């Protein structure tokens, strides 16, 4: 069974235990959002123009995954993608689609408890999750800056928890939406 993007209620869990419980609750099957603002074909060979930068609304998980897969084709070693959005917005699903697009498999899981996963391949992909970073100084203790040596694509969830960790040259993707609502993406190109 393929993993599904499921969106939780907009409330934020108060503890990691609450977070784990809410993650289990979010695993119920669903694949659609409510209203659609664009119609996108569900082809794995989606044109790169589909992943154009800027603001767009995606009405369901298929469109969201298709966008992430098309966006992945523009990435190369040394690129950094900063992902932001509330719990359940789809940050890890976005990472999963990028890894699947570039490596052809789906080993992706959220590194919330380990902070960093590396997915081997050409190029390698480093996936950092800074959800549990409470103070930017913690990053140095964890050695997370080693991920930015230019040899891999780096995807960072919750990057606002340690903004100085990331280089100035990066893609920034903001994901808004939760539950069954459409996702509003804002994609900014590296400076």
Q: Is the pLDDT of residue 122 over 80?
A: yes
What is the per-residue pLDDT for 106?
A: 62
Number of domains in the chain: 1
Pairwise pLDDT comparison (9 vs 66), residue with the higher score: 66
Query: What is the rounded CA–CA span in Å between residue 151 and residue 147?
Result: 8
What is the per-residue pLDDT for 108?
A: 63
* Average pLDDT in the chain: 76
What is the per-residue pLDDT for 138?
A: 86
Q: Which residues contact 42 (CB under 8 A, 6 or more apart)?
A: 62, 63, 66
- Label residue 26 by pLDDT band (50, 70, 90): very low
Pairwise pLDDT comparison (20 vs 45), residue with the higher score: 45
Q: Is the pLDDT of residue 111 over 60?
A: no
Q: Is the pLDDT of residue 162 over 50?
A: yes
- Label residue 62 by pLDDT band (50, 70, 90): very high
Max mean pLDDT range (6-15, 118-127, 133-142): 118-127
Instruction: Please measure the distance between the N-terminal and C-terminal CA atoms of the chain and give it in whole angstroms.
Output: 40
Classify residue 8: in a domain, yes or no.
no
CATH code: domain of residue 181: 3.40.50.300
Q: Is the pLDDT of residue 110 over 80?
A: no
The whole-number average pLDDT for the span 80-91 is 95
Task: Quote the domain boundaries for residue 141.
Answer: 16-40+54-188
Classify residue 82: in a domain, yes or no.
yes
The whole-number average pLDDT for the span 73-80 is 96
Pairwise pLDDT comparison (8 vs 146), residue with the higher score: 146
Classify residue 28: in a domain, yes or no.
yes
* Among candidate residues 91, 96, 89, 72, the one with its CA nearest the CA of residue 159: 91
The whole-number average pLDDT for the span 125-132 is 94
Classify residue 45: in a domain, yes or no.
no
Classify residue 11: in a domain, yes or no.
no
Classify residue 7: in a domain, yes or no.
no
| pTM of model > 0.75 | no
Classify residue 32: in a domain, yes or no.
yes
Residue burial 142-166, b: 16+ Cβ < 10 Å; e: rest = bebeebbeeebbbbbbbbebbeebb
Q: Is the pLDDT of residue 101 over 60?
A: yes
Classify residue 148: in a domain, yes or no.
yes
């Amino acid at each position: 069974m393929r993993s599904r993007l499921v969106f939780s209620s907009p409330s934020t869990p108060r503890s990691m235990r609450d977070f784990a419980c809410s993650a289990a609750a979010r695993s119920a099957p669903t694949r659609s959002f409510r209203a659609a603002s664009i119609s996108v074909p569900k082809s794995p060979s989606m044109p790169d123009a589909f992943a154009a930068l800027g603001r767009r609304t995606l009405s369901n998980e298929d469109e969201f995954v298709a966008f992430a897969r098309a966006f992945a084709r523009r990435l190369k070693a040394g690129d950094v993608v900063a992902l932001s959005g509330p719990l359940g917005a789809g940050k890890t699903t976005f990472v999963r689609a990028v890894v699947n697009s570039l490596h052809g498999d789906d080993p992706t899981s959220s590194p919330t408890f380990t902070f960093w996963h590396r997915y081997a391949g050409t190029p390698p992909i480093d996936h950092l999750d800074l959800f549990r970073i409470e103070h930017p100084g913690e990053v140095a203790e964890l050695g997370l800056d080693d991920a930015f040596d230019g040899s891999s694509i780096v995807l960072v969830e919750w990057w606002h928890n340690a903004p100085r960790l990331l280089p100035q040259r990066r893609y920034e993707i903001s994901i808004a939406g939760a539950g069954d609502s459409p996702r509003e993406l804002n994609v900014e190109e590296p400076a």
